[in-house]
Amino acid sequence: MVRKVILWSLWIGFIFYVLFLAPPIHWQATLILLKNLLTLQLTEINPTIASLFSLIGVCLFIYSCVLFFDGRMQKIPFYPFAIASLGTGVIGLIPYLALRESNQEFTGAKDAFLKLLDSRLTGVFLTLFTIGLLAYGLLAGDWQSFIEQFRSDRFINGMSLAFCLFCLLFPTVLGDDLARRGYLSDSLFFWLIALVPLFGPLAYLCLRPSLRSRLSDWVSCDRETNPT
């Protein structure tokens, strides 16, 4: 219950901040920026902003690699919130985190999409992609311009804070996924992942054992114990 109260309070607080406390929004400049981002006109965009926008997408994919499995075992599926998150970012994600119940099980077969999300190669690709994005944003970006826009533009300000929230909230779903794969949720492994923003979750996706292999092992053991 405490977790749910904190998450709902954080959701309401973030929306209130964006609507009433954040810097003003410059509609024309924001629409032009979004157009350039979505059409990959990178020469028209500060690399720092382009990198940050892409990192939001990386965060959504990281959560998807955990929550589509979690959603299989919940009363509410994850996919409507995943779709909402594509347009609203963390505002679309937090309600699922608040509504879901703790669950450390996964049953049933994995389709091709779940196999992709469960693959360590997906984690490796995301990690390499993230390193490239950070290098691009850090080395080629205009940080002075970014800081000025953070202070004066609602879209840049809100996107920056949303990225921080994505990093902050991952431990709320990590414990169940660890237990789902045979780890203790309070183990040292949990804290190594939880305390390292962005790269902790990426390392987890690269290292975690496949759910399919664990389910196969369980089936094999069950057949040995109860032969037909």
Kindly report the pTM of this predicted structure: 0.90
pLDDT in tens, 51-69: 999 999 999 999 999 999 9
3-state per-residue secondary structure call for 181-219? CCCCCCCHHHHHHHCCCCHHHHHHHHHCCCHHHHHHHHH
Q: Residue-wise over 143-177: b if at least 16 C-beta within 10 A, else e? A: eeebeebbeebbbbbbbebbbebbbebbbbbbbbb
Tokens matching residue 135: 């290098």
Secondary structure (3-state) at 13: helix
Distance CA 149, CA 167 (A): 22
Q: Is the pLDDT of residue 218 over 60?
A: no
pLDDT in tens, 190-201: 888 999 999 999
**Do 105 and 182 meet the contact criterion of CB atoms below 8 Å apart?**
no
Distance CA 147, CA 207 (A): 35
pLDDT in tens, 14-53: 999 999 999 999 999 999 999 999 998 988 999 999 999 9
Domain span including residue 188: 2-225
pLDDT in tens, 154-167: 999 999 999 999 99
Tokens matching residue 188: 């040292």
Number of domains composing the chain: 1
- Rg of the chain over Cα atoms, rounded to whole angstroms, equals 19
**Do 37 and 53 meet the contact criterion of CB atoms below 8 Å apart?**
yes
